[in-house]
Chains A and B, each alone.
Chain A
Amino acid sequence: MATQASRAAARAMLSPAVVLLLIWMIVPLAMTLWFSFQRYNLLYPDRAGFIGFGNYINFVATSGFWEAIVNTLLLVGGVLAITVIGGILIALLIDQPIWGQGPVRILVISPFFIMPPVAALIWKNMFMNPSNGLFAEAARFLGLPPFDFLGQAPLASIVLIVAWQWLPFATLILLTALQSLDSERMEAAEMDGAGPFARFWFIALPHLARAITVVILIQTIFLLGIFGEILVTTNGGPGNASTTLTYLVYKEALLDFDAGTAAAGGVVAVILANIVALFLMRAIGRNLDA
């Protein structure tokens, strides 16, 4: 964008997209904000009107609100930890010249092509089911009592399922970053006396910092909204053990038909997302500067 003319042209070209996006985002946000200050329960359509922060007080007072926040953060944090660490390990592995590299790479990214609820159902019914699941079968083979994953450790199980889905994304981004590492730099480190671990720690990992940041930021955006996997596996239960903020909003809106409180919940979720984003940008955002 060097000249005045090209800058003006760029703005003109961009404006339809910007306007569309603006409407797309502003209208739902404005409606959510509007409803969050209204008494609006689908079961009692006659009791309408402005109630100030009543919905917010309602939502925060819902049983399981704080638990939902903690669960949301645990879900996001757990999946990030598994995908980033696992992604680095797998990327290091499939970056090696191995026989059958092409098919292996395609296999590694394939979980990403499976629709989230389908993936979750497969995990629930074919792997984690305590009576017919593969894990139960394996446990029985080893002479151990089968473990009821979704009953005993619901949140951890969901973390596992979601992490499995997002691992390919992390692996792919980290693999491309790893491949852009100059081989002469690794050889220089080798000549300088750095062993494999030192080379990873001092050379490869700093090189991956930017890719790791991208993975964390993009995944956080999507992980805060995880819903389908919870719906088809645990329904947020047992109790509130796997209810996240998103799922709590769903419960308010579509199980209790309280649109007002659900809207307030939506706004709380937006605020939480912004807090997380702010925190992340503070912590790792400088990695994105060239």
Chain B
Amino acid sequence: MGRITLEGVAKRFGEAEVIPPLDLDIPDGSFCVFVGPSGCGKSTLLRLIAGLEDTSAGRILIDGQDATRVPPAKRGLAMVFQSYALYPHMSVRANIAFPLRMAGMAREERDRRVEEAARVLNLTPYLDRRPGQLSGGQRQRVAIGRAIVREPKAFLFDEPLSNLDAALRVGMRIEITELHERLRTTMIYVTHDQVEAMTMADRIVVLNAGKIEQVGSPLELYREPRNRFVAGFIGSPRMNFIEGAEAARHGAHAIGIRPEHVTPHPSSGDWKGVVGVAEHLGSDTFLHVHDTGLAETITVRAEGEIGLNPGDTVYLTPQPDRIHRFAANGDRL
């Protein structure tokens, strides 16, 4: 069990209100990702749930029980830190066993659980090493091992992959997702990488300056962003926003169209522009188109190789049913 409910939770550091009162319900067994730009309060929110920071207002419920004043160790949550926060003078075995030892568990049971966790995480050959003798990915797995042996109600991850290189990050992303598939324990995962959010989550919480902008499944957020902020944050490359006459033609203050929903053509289309930079990824080509008179740059994704080079004239056609319309205050129309 691990249902976490926030009711009017707020956090102030002195005068600065980092998190205005917010409500959030995280169902048992879900994989919930907090995303948002740097400094928007993701870590703070996670630390509030963990109990490492006191709330300024509101209640935190874990499985329906009020946990607002419960100390971190008693909340039954396990946290994986960005810096891994391993104990450098202890072996991997002792690191993973530490929470069990603190709980006063008998030695045999402790060893059994550590062996089991090490097997799941492919750490068995490294059990007697020190954290300093491991690679970044292995350290990350030790930190996860230390979390899973406690059999917590929920896991809290704070940007666990941000210290890893790109290839390893993709690998660990899949490992964590598989771990969730197997354990079916609630996971709350903080990241500022929207690709991680899209691929791992079953629920995404988009935060902006401490406010929840939208909560939903990855595809909901992609298809129907509630406002311009979410629209711009979810999806890569970013959605193009167009204001002015073209937006007014659609009866909106601004319209948004994702790069993958615009079709480029060398000789005919709705909008005319000049190719600035063409990024060739092999499978796709991203064209940055200038001089359309609509926005400074419009990014377009074309499949595969297309015969357009910088300086060429290009015509763009948006898919009409994929145009998002926004009001002046940023809300979706």
Partner among A188, A194, A198, A202 whose Cβ is within 8 Å of the Cβ of B81: A188
Looking at B1-9, B97-105, B176-184, B302-310, the stretch in contact with chain A turns out to be B97-105
Q: Does B106 contact A (CB under 8 A)?
A: no
Contact B102 A192 (CB under 8 A): yes
Contact A192 B52 (CB under 8 A): no
Contact B102 A184 (CB under 8 A): no
Contact A202 B98 (CB under 8 A): yes
Kindly supply a per-residue 1/0 record for chain A positions 183-208, scoring 1 wherever the CB is within 8 Å of any chain B CB and 0 otherwise.
Answer: 01101111111100010001100110
Q: Does B120 contact A (CB under 8 A)?
A: no
Kindly supply a per-residue 1/0 record for chain B positions 96-120, scoring 1 wherever the CB is within 8 Å of any chain A CB and 0 otherwise.
Answer: 0011001100000000000000000
Write out the residue numbers on chain A whose beta carbons fall within 8 Å of the beta carbon of B146: 188, 192
Q: Does B85 contact A (CB under 8 A)?
A: yes
Task: Select from chain B the residue with minimum beta-carbon distance to A198.
Answer: B102
Q: Does A182 contact B (CB under 8 A)?
A: yes
Kindly supply a per-residue 1/0 record for chain A positions 113-124, scoring 1 wherever the CB is within 8 Å of any chain B CB and 0 otherwise.
Answer: 000000000000
Interface residue ranges of A163-217 to B (CB < 8 Å):
182, 184-185, 187-194, 198, 202-203, 206-207, 209
Write out the residue numbers on chain B whose beta carbons fall within 8 Å of the beta carbon of A192: 73, 98-99, 102, 146, 150
Contact A182 B85 (CB under 8 A): yes
Contact A202 B52 (CB under 8 A): no
B52, B85, B89 — most chain A CB neighbours (10 Å): B85
Distance to closest chain B CB from A74 (angstroms) = 32
Count of B interface residues, CB-CB < 8 Å: 20
- Tell whether A191 pairs with B50 under 8 Å between CB atoms, given A198-B102, A202-B98, A206-B89: yes
Distance to closest chain A CB from B70 (angstroms) = 12
A187 to B103, CA, bound (A): 16
Task: Select from chain B the residue with minimum beta-carbon distance to A185.
Answer: B85
Kindly supply a per-residue 1/0 record for chain A positions 17-37, scoring 1 wherever the CB is within 8 Å of any chain B CB and 0 otherwise.
Answer: 000000000000000000000
A202 to B88, CA, bound (A): 11
Write out the residue numbers on chain B whose beta carbons fall within 8 Å of the beta carbon of A188: 79, 81, 85-86, 146
- Tell whether A187 pairs with B85 under 8 Å between CB atoms, given A192-B146, A193-B73: yes
Task: Select from chain B the residue with minimum beta-carbon distance to A209.
Answer: B89
Kindly supply a per-residue 1/0 record for chain A positions 216-249, scoring 1 wherever the CB is within 8 Å of any chain B CB and 0 otherwise.
Answer: 0000000000000000000000000000000000
Interface residue ranges of B75-89 to A (CB < 8 Å):
77-79, 81-83, 85-87, 89
Distance to closest chain B CB from A207 (angstroms) = 8
Write out the residue numbers on chain B whose beta carbons fall within 8 Å of the beta carbon of A194: 73, 98, 102
A289 to B85, CA, bound (A): 21
Q: Does B72 contact A (CB under 8 A)?
A: yes
Write out the residue numbers on chain A whose beta carbons fall within 8 Å of the beta carbon of B89: 206-207, 209
A-B residue pairs in contact (CB < 8 Å), sample of 11: A182-B83, A185-B86, A191-B52, A191-B79, A192-B150, A193-B102, A193-B103, A194-B73, A194-B102, A206-B87, A207-B89
Q: Which 9 A-B pairs have the closest CB atoms?
A: A188-B85, A192-B99, A193-B102, A193-B73, A206-B89, A184-B85, A185-B85, A184-B81, A194-B102
Name B residues whose Cβ lies closer than 8 Å to a Cβ of A.
Answer: 50, 52, 72-73, 77-79, 81-83, 85-87, 89, 98-99, 102-103, 146, 150
Beyond A191-B78, A202-B98, 20 additional contacts (C-beta under 8 Å) are: A182-B85, A184-B82, A184-B83, A184-B85, A187-B52, A187-B72, A187-B79, A187-B85, A188-B81, A189-B87, A190-B73, A191-B52, A191-B79, A193-B73, A193-B99, A193-B102, A194-B98, A203-B87, A206-B87, A207-B89
